[in-house]
Amino acid sequence: MKTNTHPQFAVVGHPNKGKSSIVSTLSHDQSIAISNRSGTTEHATTYTVETHSGYYELIDTPGFQRPTRVLKWLNEHCQNASERAKTLYEFISSPQCQEEFRDEVELLTPIVNGAAILYVVDGSRPYGVEYESEMEILRWTGQPSMALINPIENGQFVDEWSSALAQYFKSVRLFNPFNADFDKQIELLKTFVYLNPQWADSLNRITDGLVNKRHSQKSESITILAHLLEDLCAHQTHQKAVTKTQATKLKPVVMKNYTQWMKTREHNAIEELLALYCHSKTAFSLKDLDLPPDLFDCEEWYAWGLNKKQLVSASTIAGAASGAMLDAAIAGSSLMMGTIGGGLIGATGAWIGANSLLNARIKGLPLGGFQAKIGPITNRNFPFVVIGRFLHLYQQIINLNHADRRMLTQSTFDFQKQLELLDTDARKAIFNGCNRLVKQKSVNNLDELLLPLFNLK
Ligand SMILES: Nc1nc2c(ncn2[C@@H]2O[C@H](COP(=O)(O)OP(=O)(O)OP(=O)(O)O)[C@@H](O)[C@H]2O)c(=O)[nH]1
Ligand SMILES: [Mg+2]
């Protein structure tokens, strides 16, 4: 019997029993082909599960196609049990077998070369004698093995399967690749430790590594939300016009730009979250963000972002001073001042009256006017809407197995109830933080405030 230096598991069984689904879920890899078409996996493919503290490999394989004939071939080429390993090696090396029993050669090769066996069956279908040749062939390999009962539709035949499998495998476990959450996945990995004592240390380190990775994914998720909150609460869109009527007419365009920006920003945050959990291929749809109706504002504006007073005093100084002094006078609040501002304003005269300012022009450009402005949102509920929407998808994503390729949607989600699960201090801290955000004040420990929400189950 050969043993690989690093833990390696070949996932084998009948076609269409969820082998690829199990590999996909355990390796967090959603690129693995899964379908209800029997024979989807045609070649043995190795997937590496990496952590900072080591790695193990899962080998997805095609299902047994002609196990009875393969067993017959093996029996015909073997005198006694001591020759079985040698006969199996002859089987996988024989060009004739490679042609005639392509799937069996594919699936047995990694096992003969040192991988342990994970034998997958469907607990919603009855046990049958046709599986016995497969299990017998696997026993011939002498490799450590475990049976996994996947209750694809239900668990109706799990007991029946358990008593049959116990005769061939030391360990029999129930594992549903569509439902097993992260803790169940870790639990399964911990049982692999008993399959081969030589792999115990690495597997223990790998499980610790996976748990640590899960913790950092959570921290990164919180940071994604914190940045999203800050951005959405601070965002504003504006468009300058010369007259108030013109500015008011711009309202629909500005509103559209604003809404689009907010939508894209939220969408990007969810994409970031999906990528963090290796779910980049998962489709999702977001409901429209309900924005408060009172967001539009039409306000006066002045050149270079200065207010009326600053502009007047800047112009006053400019009348008697150089561009350099002008920059100093307004503390460099506009880059343009140094380049075109100084000379031009100076040239227009020492003082531009405050009331005539809006009509004053430099080289045909107005010095002021009105602007259509949307945002930032001051509604105190808004940050909670953002948190609730994000958290709802977060909870779906962390519980979505990689074998499960469904689309994520926003259904009704009672965020209020989630908030009530927090202790008073945590809730208060979130309220205060959100209050500061809508008042355009910074919140230093936003990640820390949000953490308790991410610890909810
Ligand atoms: N609902 C549900 N469906 C499952 C489960 N496991 C597998 N399936 C479905 O069963 C079908 C076969 O799954 P695969 O993972 O492709 O099976 P396989 O054993 O790799 O199949 P082959 O590569 O063809 O041998 C797919 O349609 C899966 O969606 C499960 O636990 N629950
Ligand atoms: Mg497959």
pLDDT, tens digit, for every residue of 52-89? Answer: 999 999 999 999 999 999 999 999 999 999 999 999 99
Look at ligand 1, atom 32, and give the residue with the nearest C-alpha.
Answer: 152
Return the pLDDT at 247: 83
Q: Clarify whether residues 341 and 406 are in a common domain.
A: no
Q: What mean pLDDT comes out for the span 115-127?
A: 98
Q: Per the structure, how many domains does the chain have?
A: 3
Q: Clarify whether residues 236 and 279 are in a common domain.
A: yes
Whether 303 maps to a domain, the answer reads: no
Of the residues 365, 386, 413, the one at which a domain ends: 365
Q: Which ligand has the minimum distance to the alpha carbon of residue 40?
A: 1
Whether 424 maps to a domain, the answer reads: yes
For residue 330, pLDDT over 90 is answered with no
Distance 202 CA to ligand 1 centre (A): 29
Whether 200 maps to a domain, the answer reads: no
Whether 207 maps to a domain, the answer reads: no
Return the pLDDT at 312: 57
Return the pLDDT at 1: 64
Q: Clarify whether residues 265 and 315 are in a common domain.
A: no
Q: How far is CA 242 from the centre of its chain?
A: 46
Q: Clarify whether residues 27 and 131 are in a common domain.
A: yes
For residue 226, pLDDT over 70 is answered with yes
Residue 270 belongs to what H/E stretch?
helix 251-276
State the alpha helices, DSSP H only, in 142-250: 158-165, 182-192, 200-234, 244-249
Distance 106 CA to ligand 2 centre (A): 13
Q: Clarify whether residues 265 and 223 are in a common domain.
A: yes
Q: Clarify whether residues 357 and 421 are in a common domain.
A: no
Return the pLDDT at 281: 97
341 lines ligand 1 (CB under 6 A): no
Q: Which two tokens stand for residue 52?
A: 């900072």
Q: Which ligand has the minimum distance to the alpha carbon of residue 19?
A: 1
- Residue 303 or residue 219, greater confidence: 219
Return the pLDDT at 176: 98
Nearest to 378 by CA among 257, 294, 261: 294
d(CA 336, CA 425): 48
* pLDDT range class, residue 315, cuts 50, 70, 90: low
Please say whether the beta carbons of 341 and 352 come within 8 A. Answer: no
For residue 32, pLDDT over 90 is answered with yes
Distance 200 CA to ligand 1 centre (A): 29
Q: Could you list the residue range(s) of the whole structural domain that residue 339 is in?
A: 308-365
From the CA of 150, give the closest atom in ligand 1: 31
Q: Clarify whether residues 274 and 419 are in a common domain.
A: yes
18 lines ligand 1 (CB under 6 A): yes
Lowest mean pLDDT among 71-85, 193-207, 372-386: 372-386
* pLDDT range class, residue 351, cuts 50, 70, 90: very low
d(CA 437, CA 249): 30
Beta strands 237-241 and 284-285 are unpaired
**Sheet containing 237-241: order of strands:** 237-241, 368-374, 296-302
38 lines ligand 1 (CB under 6 A): yes
Please say whether the beta carbons of 229 and 208 come within 8 A. Answer: no
Distance 58 CA to ligand 1 centre (A): 16
Using CA atoms, how far residue 352 sits from 7, 299, 304, in Å, is 80, 21, 16
Return the pLDDT at 318: 46
Mean pLDDT (the chain, rounded): 87
* pLDDT range class, residue 243, cuts 50, 70, 90: confident
Lowest mean pLDDT among 1-15, 56-70, 109-123, 181-195: 1-15
From the CA of 34, give the closest atom in ligand 1: 16
From the CA of 16, give the closest atom in ligand 1: 21
In 190-305, beta strands by DSSP E = 237-241, 284-285, 296-302
- Residue 432 or residue 246, greater confidence: 432
For residue 354, pLDDT over 50 is answered with no
Lowest mean pLDDT among 160-174, 268-282, 298-312: 298-312
Q: What mean pLDDT comes out for the span 314-329?
A: 43
* pLDDT range class, residue 328, cuts 50, 70, 90: very low
Return the pLDDT at 352: 41
For residue 343, pLDDT over 50 is answered with no
Of the residues 319, 341, 365, the one at which a domain ends: 365
40 lines ligand 1 (CB under 6 A): yes
Return the pLDDT at 408: 95
Q: Clarify whether residues 257 and 220 are in a common domain.
A: yes
Q: Clarify whether residues 40 and 148 are in a common domain.
A: yes
Q: What mean pLDDT comes out for the span 414-442?
A: 93
- Residue 326 or residue 422, greater confidence: 422
Torsion of CA 298, 302, 308, 309, to 10 degrees: 140
Look at ligand 1, atom 21, and give the residue with the nearest C-alpha.
Answer: 16
- Give pLDDT tens digits for 124-178: 999 999 999 999 999 999 999 999 999 999 999 999 999 999 999 989 999 999 9
Look at ligand 1, atom 29, and give the residue with the nearest C-alpha.
Answer: 35
* pLDDT range class, residue 456, cuts 50, 70, 90: confident
Please say whether the beta carbons of 189 and 207 come within 8 A. Answer: yes
154 lines ligand 1 (CB under 6 A): no
Whether 397 maps to a domain, the answer reads: yes
Q: Clarify whether residues 59 and 89 are in a common domain.
A: yes
Whether 202 maps to a domain, the answer reads: no
Q: What mean pLDDT comes out for the span 102-131?
A: 97
Q: Best mutation site among 11, 12, 16 for ligand 1, i.e. most ligand atoms within 8 A of its Cβ?
A: 16
Whether 132 maps to a domain, the answer reads: yes
Return the pLDDT at 289: 85
d(CA 156, CA 41): 27
Whether 298 maps to a domain, the answer reads: no
Return the pLDDT at 240: 85
15 lines ligand 1 (CB under 6 A): yes
Q: Clarify whether residues 221 and 357 are in a common domain.
A: no
d(CA 342, CA 336): 9
For residue 365, pLDDT over 70 is answered with no
Q: Best mutation site among 12, 14, 21, 404 for ligand 1, i.e. most ligand atoms within 8 A of its Cβ?
A: 21
Q: Clarify whether residues 131 and 71 are in a common domain.
A: yes
Lowest mean pLDDT among 223-232, 249-258, 389-398: 249-258
Question: pTM for this structure?
Answer: 0.86
For residue 276, pLDDT over 50 is answered with yes
Distance 400 CA to ligand 1 centre (A): 16
d(CA 12, CA 133): 13
